[in-house]
Structure 1
Amino acid sequence: MCAIGVDRTGHRSGGPVAARPAHPYQAPRPPIVPRARWLEEDARGRPPARYDDKVAAVFIHHTDSPNGYDCADSPRIIRYLYAGQTGAKNWDDIGYNFLVDRCGTIYEGRAGGVDRPVTGAHTQGFNHRTAGIAALGTFTAGVAVPQAMTDAIAALAAWKLGLSDTDPRGSVRLTSSNSLSRYASGTTALLPTLAGHSDGYMTSCPGAALAERLPAIRELAGRLQGRR
């Protein structure tokens, strides 16, 4: 799994229904499967969710797991990822805020509310004011990245960033909170508002093939927000 990001500082549902935009470039919310669909019962005593003031950027990941799955098995796979992160790694919850399978189904990940700026555990040093979106699979060089997956990532990023009127094609200054990131703690870095995990942490995640798709994902997300 490529969610190296603990930072202690600090079946589809119905079709998309958009509320009246709060900002001029607010994209519709895509269908998001709630975590109750993959985590039937959580026996862990989980502390309350932590929140930031807004989501100013999203980081894209891959889960470094097999690609040849049936999409009906996605809940089971996510449950496995959750078990790994809360078990051996002793995290309080799954680190990613959202997960997207190869059929383009979006799943709620970390608890706290999909429409709220939940502090995740996905990008060491840059968990604050960001959301982590993980693509189910391994997308190293030469691996095909499903169009349904990238379209769903773009729709999710467009909606999530639109809540703070953020252009997914732009950049943002974020301050590292952990020296294990690419930047020493306290350093302010200029990062893409729709970034790959490797932009903030020394890793090959989200994989070369998915990283190559990020410019197109940014452009599609911008168009979904109504930007020119």
Structure 2
Amino acid sequence: MTCAAALAVPLTPPASAAPARAAARNAADPVIPGSTRSLPLGPLSAERVRGTAPEQGLYRPDGEDFSLVGVVWRDPGSALRGRVQVRARSAATGEWSGWQDLDTHNADHGADPGTAERDARRVRGATAPLWVGASDGVDVRVRADRALRGGRTGGQRPPLPSGLRVELVDPGDEGPPAGAPAGPPHTSLHTAAAREASAANTDVARFGAMAIPALNKRATERELVRLQGPLRGKPHIGPRPRIVTRRGWGADESLRLSGFTYMKKVKAAFVHHTASGNKYACSQASSVIRGIYRYHVQSMGWRDMGYNFLVDKCGTIYEGRAGGVAKAVLGAHTAGFNADSMGIAVIGTYGSAKPPGAAVRAVARLTAWKLGLYGANPRGRTYLTSGGGNLYPKGKKVRLNVISGHRDGYATECPGKRLYAKLGTARSSAAHYQGR
């Protein structure tokens, strides 16, 4: 176990989490672009899909407007033991894509078991979302596993969970590049919720900033003293990287629950991939994030985006869950180990695809800075207490790498085999950035 105690003073204000959606707009507030269309799935005819497995789906050849798609169901405790595939029709060319699989093993993302966020009535089971680009038609099919064909057998649950729906998410227009002085309505500060989210970062940036600027190592150390007071010994902290704020990527703050929930410290970082596919340009990253945000909140029923940070394939870092990038914000990213940790999601799918070097370097820069705020050594190990999961029972103290993959805390493929293999590089680089 390696966890420095020199920076023991937490960077956290008193916890607060109001049980209501962010402040509603009034007539003077701007209209926020973007929408989510939720459509029920129904039985598929034998003529369309052969086989005897229980199957549901939906064919909507035109008239839709979306860029991200996922499938949800009523009970988050029910697993979808089967295969979910979608194809989409391009709004630009009218051509249909090939069939693409949605990751059905998504219960490992989310709030810890037994918490208010996890047990809220609005929470649903869901696949991972898939980015398909601007589309106007969708075709969905859900097939139960072959071993479960024939309906109820041996007292098992029905092969497919009830209440299956496809979620078609339109993230809204792109807007200006992050850092631009003015923006469309979705980057305004006209709502109390938007002002609340922006004010949470005023310890490290000006109010209303589209991006938190990078600092060199010396300036970062001076900022650390300003935030925490005189330090004991030499600080080990990496230079603060540039971070695009929620305002910068265009978050509709009215979607999330108001208020923030904080922890006392950040002892570890869990690295994820979004499993949303790699067919996006870096110029589209803000749209992808807005789509994931809508899917997490409106489709899955979480209080906010689950991840604390996101990183695109070009290495740009984005603020995730609201509450302040320098603060210990409780996320919903690694079921069972959200407490005392942060979640970083690399946008894409990295089971067989090689993660870009720029993304791995961004993970190292981000962890060197954020873990450094709380005295954690990126090469070290630390103890976290399990909140319950499929690897460790609730209450068990588990020794983990300070920079871990999602699969270290939960039996899952996340963050993908190829990205997981790069975590050693991220640890070494982050420690180097910290001056260790």
Amino acid in the other structure paired with 2:339: H
When residues 198 and 40 of structure 1 are mapped into structure 2, their CA distance, relative to the original with a 3 A threshold, is closer
- Provide structure 1 residue ranges, at least 5 long, that are not aligned to the other structure: none
Letter in 1 for 2:214: P
User: Per the alignment, do residues 119 and 147 of structure 1 end up closer, same or farther by CA in structure 2, a change over 3 Å counting?
Assistant: same
Q: Find the partner of 1:55 among 266, 280, 287.
A: 266
The residue aligned with 1:129 is 340
Q: May I ask how many residue pairs the two structures share in their alignment?
A: 225
The answer on 1:104 being equivalent to 2:315 is: yes
1:119 aligns with 2:330: yes
Alignment-mate amino acid for residue 137 of structure 1: G
C-alpha contact (below 8 Å) 2:386/2:396 kept by paired residues: yes
In the other structure, the counterpart of 2:403 is: 194
Displacement after TM superposition at 1:39 (Å): 3.0
* SS at structure 2 position matched to 1:172: strand
8 A Cα contact 1:176 1:183, kept in partner: yes
Which residue is equivalent to 2:383?
173
Judged with a 3 Å threshold, the aligned counterparts in structure 2 of structure 1 residues 53 and 181 are, in CA distance, closer, same or farther, namely: farther
- Alpha-carbon RMSD across the aligned residues, in angstroms, is 1.7
1:46-93 deviation per Cα after TM superposition (whole angstroms, max 9, x unaligned):
132111111000000000012131111001000111111112210010
> Any idea what SS the aligned residue of 1:83 has?
helix
Question: Normalising by the residue count of structure 2, what TM-score does the alignment of the two structures yield?
Answer: 0.50
Write the deviation string for residues 178-225 of structure 1: whole angstroms up to 9, x where unpaired: 2x2421000000011000000001110000000000001100000000
The answer to whether residue 221 in structure 2 is matched with residue 16 in structure 1 is no
Higher helix share: 1
Report the identity percentage: 44
> 1:154 pairs with 348, 364, 386, which one?
364
Q: Is the 8 A contact 2:212 2:243 kept in 1?
A: no
Where does structure 1 differ by over 6 angstroms across 4 or more consecutive aligned residues?
Answer: none
- Code of the aligned partner of 1:193: V
In structure 2, give the amino acid aligned to 1:210: L
Tell me the equivalent position of 2:419: 210
How far 1:45 sits from its partner (Å)? Answer: 5.3
Q: Structure 1: how far apart are the matches of 2:258 and 2:346? A: 26
Answer whether contact 1:9 1:177 (CA < 8 A) is retained. no
User: Which is richer in strand?
Assistant: 2
Residues in 2 aligned to 1:110 and 1:25: alpha-carbon distance in whole angstroms: 25
Deviation at 1:109, TM superposition (A): 0.3
Q: Which secondary structure state, in structure 2, belongs to the residue aligned with residue 87 of structure 1?
A: helix
TM-score, with normalisation over the residues of structure 1? 0.93
Cα distance in 2 between the residues matched to 1:135 and 1:25: 25
Q: Distance in 2 between matches of 1:124 and 1:30?
A: 27
Distance 1:130 1:215 in 2: 18
Structure 2 segments unaligned to the other structure (5+ residues): 1-102, 117-177, 180-210, 226-233
Is 1:4 matched up with 2:109?
yes
Higher relative contact order (CA 8 A, sep 6+): 1
Q: Aligned residue for 1:138? A: 349
1:5 shift after superposition: 2.1
Q: Max radius of gyration: which structure?
A: 2
Query: What is the SS of the residue equivalent to 1:132?
Result: strand
Between the aligned partners of 1:45 and 1:149, the Cα distance in structure 2 is: 27
Q: Secondary structure at the match of 2:376?
A: coil
Rounded to whole Å, the distance in 1 between the matches of 2:405 and 2:245 is 24
